[in-house]
Structure 1
Amino acid sequence: MTDADDEPLKARVEQWLTREMPIIKMHGGTSAVREADPETGEVIIELGGGCTGCEVADITTSNIEAELLTWPEISDITVRVPDPRESLGGPDQAESIMGIDRTEGGRGDWGSSNPGKDHF
């Protein structure tokens, strides 16, 4: 049986995320250790899936950073959560996504399905 310190830093961080942060997966999120350099102490984690656009992603990010900075071999931690607009093509995307016409301020195009003024 190997000592935990013999495992690569990246593997240990991934195991910690799985064990100590199940909330990520429970809420449909994903986590990936993009970099874990034992020489510089730099760790980069990216959250995705349900974390993208989540209102509590900042709290999750802060909790991850606070814990991992207590590890003696980690001196710098970056946790990235992509902006939800990035996964939709960015703020300049003009075409319709899921029925939302972004060129019309996100109101969409009612077209012939507009029920009219007298519809309750």
Structure 2
Amino acid sequence: MSAESLERRTRSYLSNNVPQIQDHGGYFEIEDVDEESGEVTVAIGGACSGCGIAPMTMRAIRKRLPDEVDEISKVTIRQAGGPRAAVMPSKTREMEEMEEYEDYSPPF
């Protein structure tokens, strides 16, 4: 499988199974696909920053994407940079560490 195909399958999964990102004013971009190792890096930004469910969305993507796209072994999620950068990345990182989010599973 080519890296382009793996990227296309990753993008398709996120677009079709996590529409809340775009529906709520956020966005995602696939920053890197390592075909050999199966590692994928996804950046999220826009309205995702500081959103109360962003940490749960990020955790769900990290967990579910490898289950849905067989060739993926690891998913790294990071805050997007540039003009569409997340507004409050430190708050989102803090929220990811909160125990309240440990067992929550978003409905996607």
1:55 CA drift (Å): 1.6
Deviations 1:17-67 (A, max 9, x none): 111111001110000010111211110000011111212110000111111
Q: Offset at 1:85?
A: 4.7
Asked if 1 retains the 8 angstrom alpha-carbon contact of 2:29 and 2:44, the reply is: yes
More helix by share: 2
The answer on 1:58 being equivalent to 2:61 is: no
| Matches of 1:57 and 1:85, distance apart in 2 | 11
Equivalent in the alignment of 1:25: 22
SS in 2 for 1:33: strand
TM-score, normalised relative to structure 2 = 0.67
Distance apart, 1:81 and its partner CA: 2.6
TM-score, length basis structure 1: 0.61
Could you tell me which runs of 5 or more consecutive residues in structure 1 were left unpaired when the two chains were aligned.
Answer: 87-120
Code of the aligned partner of 1:66:
K
Contact 1:51 1:81 in 2 (8 A): no
| In structure 2, C-alpha distance between the alignment counterparts of 1:52 and 1:63, rounded to whole Å | 16
Number of paired residues?
82
Stretches of structure 2 lacking an aligned partner (at least 5 in a row): 81-85, 90-108
Q: In the aligned structure 2, how far is the partner of 1:74 from the partner of 1:18? A: 17
Larger radius of gyration: 1
Aligned to 1:84: 87
Structure with the larger RCO, 1 or 2 (CA within 8 Å, 6+ apart): 2
RMSD over equivalenced CA pairs, Å: 1.9
**Misfit runs of 4+, over 3 Å:** none
% identity of equivalent residues: 34
